[in-house]
Amino acid sequence: MSDLNEVRQAVILAAGRSRRMEKLSRREPKCLLPYKGERVLERLVRQIEDNGIQQIYIVTGYCANKIEALFHDDPVVTTIENKFYEEDVNILSLSLALAKVDGPVAIFEADVIMEDALVRYVLGSDFEGKSVWFTRGPFTESQYGGILKSNKYGQITDIRIVSAYNERYKAYSKLTGIMRVGSGELELFRAIMNKYAKTSLKQYFLTAWIENLRLLPCWEADITPYQFYTFNKPEEYYQVQSTDIDASHGEAEVQRVEVSQLHGIEEYGEERVKDLLHEITTLGMWTVPIIISKSTNLVLDGQHRLEAAKRLGLSVLPAVAVHYQEVAVWSLRKEIRVDSKRVEKKVLKDKAVYPYKTVKHKFPFDIPSIQIPLDELR
């Protein structure tokens, strides 16, 4: 992960007994079950570390020694034992972790299996300065648990924990086991959590946020475009086992395109451009290709890099060209609708761009790393 992103710490909640997993969790937590050659928790830790997180706090409880042994030589990981895990739902676990945290933090439940691109999205720069609850589409009749509702701007107006679907919740979204706590809410949330944990351990940490939502502003982010799975029962675990989340997407071909022919689709953040300029000039290399629409040269990923290239006087840029209609596209701003046709019309016909952090894309390949001396691009 680039130094331009604010999240440096992550918490993984791994204390639970997982009784609904029956014999599969009789000798170890469900997060230590295998998936494609790795334990589920090992996979999550690796994905988080691959994004440059400097400190991961894993809260243990059931079979704590097994998790501690697994990560005892990992300098990024610190384990925190919740000795009261049998009584605790999860409020004490998070309280213990937040006592160690000193900045914006991402929080994961330990039983999530997801693609690398989703971890990058959660830990990336799209949500800087915000507390975020990640959802996975509309709340449906087969679901239960945490749900939320947000206004047309994506700010959350209600969070609930429900035991079953009800028609009055049809406008709600289903929560995942992932969230971000921003610096503006961290101190207050930590204090509230400590207070609630002293009252009763038989409550979810969501309760502390739910009952203080007016004091803890937060936003919804939908992860529907990404592969995400969690499991509470053996049949759910076996179903995930039959899914290859890590299937190869193929190689992305990098070409060079003229800077003068490229069209940005969003405004950019001046401070981020300055930081990028420093990063690029210090290294003396261009390390990440931009992603463009093959037929129109719209820049789908790399608005800040395009601006940095212009200020550096570069003539060409390394790029990966895609067919826009084959790319998943959605809006980070709930009040603004986007799709490939709307983006093309706004930029090419209306000669306008979207506000900073509006249009988001998911590409059917991993963006390759490159190393091209800047002199070759001038």
Q: What does 227-288 look like in DSSP terms, one character per residue?
A: -EEE-SSHHHHHHHHT--TT----PPPPEEEEGGG-EE-B---HHHHHHHHHHHHHHTEE-S
How many C-beta neighbours within 10 Å does residue 167 have?
Answer: 6
How many C-beta neighbours within 10 Å does residue 286 have?
Answer: 23
- Note the helical H segments in 16-147: 40-50, 64-70, 91-98, 116-123
- Name the residue type at position 24: L
Longest dimension (CA), the chain: 64
Residue ranges of the chain with per-residue pLDDT less than 70: 1-4, 248
CA distance 305 to 323: 21
What is the structure's pLDDT at 2? Answer: 45
What is the structure's pLDDT at 205? Answer: 95
What is the structure's pLDDT at 341? Answer: 97
Summarised one tens digit per residue, pLDDT across range 261-316 is 999 999 999 999 999 999 999 999 999 999 999 999 999 999 999 999 999 999 99
CA distance 132 to 181: 7
Output the CA torsion 138→139→145→147 (10° steps): 60
CA distance 66 to 58: 12
Question: What secondary structure letter does DSSP report for 218?
Answer: -
Q: Which two tokens stand for residue 286?
A: 């261009």
Whether the Cβ atoms of residue 50 and residue 117 lie closer than 8 Å to each other: no
What is the structure's pLDDT at 262? Answer: 98
CA distance 118 to 130: 18
What is the structure's pLDDT at 4? Answer: 55
Kind of pairing between the strands at 55-60 and 9-14: parallel
- Helix (H) or strand (E) holding 176, with range, is strand 173-181
- Note the helical H segments in the chain: 40-50, 64-70, 91-98, 116-123, 183-199, 205-210, 234-241, 270-283, 303-311, 340-344
